[in-house]
Amino acid sequence: MKHLDTLGPEEKIMIKLTIPTIDNTYADLIKHPNVIRVVALSGGYSRQKANELLARNKGMIASFSRALTEGLSKQQTDAEFNKILDDSIQCIFDASVAPRDDTFERQLERAKNADGFLAALDQSGGSTPKALKLYGISENEYIMNEKSMFDAIHDMRTRMMKSPHFNGDRVLGAILFEDTMDREVDGIPTCEYLWEVKHVLPFLKVDKGLSDMENGVQLMKPMPDLVPLLRRAKAKGVFGTKMRSVILDANEKGIADIVAQQFEVGKQIVAEGLIPILEPEVDINISNKAEAENILKGLILKHLDVLGPNEKIMIKLTIPTEDNLYADLIKHSNVIRVVALSGGYSRAKANELLARNKGMIASFSRALTEGLSKQQTDEEFNKTLNESIQCIFDASILPRDKDKDV
């Protein structure tokens, strides 16, 4: 694994290994983005024993020598020889065709076509205190940026995820902070819980915050450990990622820099087998918001048009001043979804604006948790969350344009 993690995205290999003593020991190797196949040698086992062991190791296929030729003889007639060889090939084939893990393909189909919205549960260290305060937890109940703070926000997120109303019927995906990805819900790793129990797509926030403003924008800070993080996330069952930068002025150079950075990092994420959500947010309070959005749209389209056919992305944008401004992005063959951030609007206002933009779906954070409180009974909490989920879902389910090739 250490050597695999240092390979470049184009350096692909296969590995031939002895069938392991502990079943599925090599599962992480099989899933690794640099590994095409892990194949098994028979290692002196009889064909029957080698097949029995191989069939218990999902994703490994046979690369047998003596076990393949077992029973063949020069003295056999052609009919006898061919029958024994056919039997040998068939049983080795059967042991090699344990169903391939098609989780990503099923998740991708859901991301493209299912109704719902993204729950943004990715408050970082900087935004967590505000989220906790709104939830009814004061700063004297935890220590800033220490375990007690992250425990508190995880408890809040867990309460939401465990609610009977938080599931794939209306919540398409959930964006997680790295600490949340590394924790558990009801003793189950968070990403596994979201997908296997709730049928909700897990996304991970991967940016490390914003740089100082220059040319009217804030670019993302460098991410030197991005690739190891992506590979760890992939192994944990993450489907996609999200990364945010901010536009504070209709400055063409600044916006061009933001779009270039988002797509550059996005292509690295695609190469690791994940779906990136690019988030060049336009601040809702700037005086030239509409102008900035038009510049942004044109630059995004230019970058989209040079992507390869298999480089699929999602885009998270501020709800535009001009209704349906992003229709061309929504229809683009490289775009799975365009999702909307609430951007500081109240939930009612964000839903009103979103509902006027055909094909955009919500990716709300504060607007989703509005009205939730630690002090509520479970009945009160679940009722409030259900109402929030329903109204955001309603604003997100205008018929999506199906006339695009995705």
Model confidence over 290-343: pLDDT tens digits? Answer: 999 999 999 999 999 999 998 999 999 999 999 999 999 999 999 999 999 999
Which H/E stretch holds residue 39? strand 35-41
Residues 6+ apart with CB under 8 A from 250: 216, 286, 288, 291, 292, 295
Residue with tokens 């063959």: 333
Query: What is the spatial distance between Cα 321 and Cα 327, in angstroms, rounded to a whole number?
Result: 13
Structure tokens at 40: 């098994």
8 SS3 class: coil
pLDDT given at position 403: 46
Provide the 10 A C-beta neighbour count for residue 53. Answer: 20
Q: What pLDDT shows up at residue 400?
A: 44
Q: Please list the alpha-helical segments (H only) found in 203-345.
A: 226-235, 252-271, 289-304, 327-331
Q: What is the pLDDT of residue 340?
A: 98
Helix (H, G, I), strand (E, B), or coil: what is residue 181? helix
Residues 112, 201: Cα–Cα separation, whole Å: 12
Partners of 338 in beta bridges = 315
**In the numeric block, which tokens belong to residue 207?**
């940016």
Reading across the β-sheet that carries 61-62, which strands appear in turn?
13-18, 35-41, 61-62
Q: Do 129 and 143 meet the contact criterion of CB atoms below 8 Å apart?
A: no
DSSP state of 214: B
d(C-alpha 109, C-alpha 143), whole Å: 42
State residue 394's pLDDT score: 97
pLDDT at residue number 99: 56
Predicted TM-score (pTM) of this structure: 0.77
Q: Are strands 217-218 and 240-247 parallel, antiparallel or unpaired?
A: antiparallel
Give the per-residue pLDDT at 406.
38
> Where on the phi/psi map is residue 265: left (φ > 0), alpha (ψ -120 to 50), or beta?
alpha
- Determine the Cα–Cα distance for residues 296 and 216; give it in Å rounded to an integer: 13
Pair of tokens at residue 143: 């220590």
Locate CATH 3.20.20.70 in the chain. 103-396
CA 103 to each of CA 41, 239, 325: distance values in angstroms, whole numbers, following the listed order: 27, 9, 34
Active centre residues (catalytic): 279, 316
Beta strands in 70-220 (DSSP E): 117-121, 171-176, 184-185, 188-189, 201-205, 217-218
Return the SS3 of 346. coil
User: In this structure, which CATH number among 3.40.1280.10, 3.20.20.70, 3.90.120.10, 2.40.50.140 belongs to the domain 103-396?
Assistant: 3.20.20.70
Contacts of 284 (CB under 8 A, 6+ apart): 318, 343, 344, 345
pLDDT in tens, the chain (406 residues): 999 999 998 999 999 999 998 888 998 999 899 999 999 999 999 999 999 889 888 899 999 999 999 999 999 999 999 999 999 999 999 899 855 567 898 899 999 999 999 999 997 777 899 999 999 999 999 998 899 999 999 999 999 999 999 999 999 999 999 999 999 999 999 999 999 999 999 999 999 999 999 999 999 999 999 999 999 999 899 999 999 999 999 999 999 999 999 999 999 999 999 999 999 999 999 999 999 999 999 999 999 999 999 899 999 999 999 999 999 999 999 999 999 999 999 999 999 999 999 999 999 999 999 999 999 999 999 999 999 999 999 999 864 444 444 3
- Phi and psi for 71 in degrees, rounded to 5? 95, -10
CB 368 within 8 A of CB 345: no
Q: What radius of gyration do the chain's Cα atoms show? A: 25
CB 222 within 8 A of CB 269: no
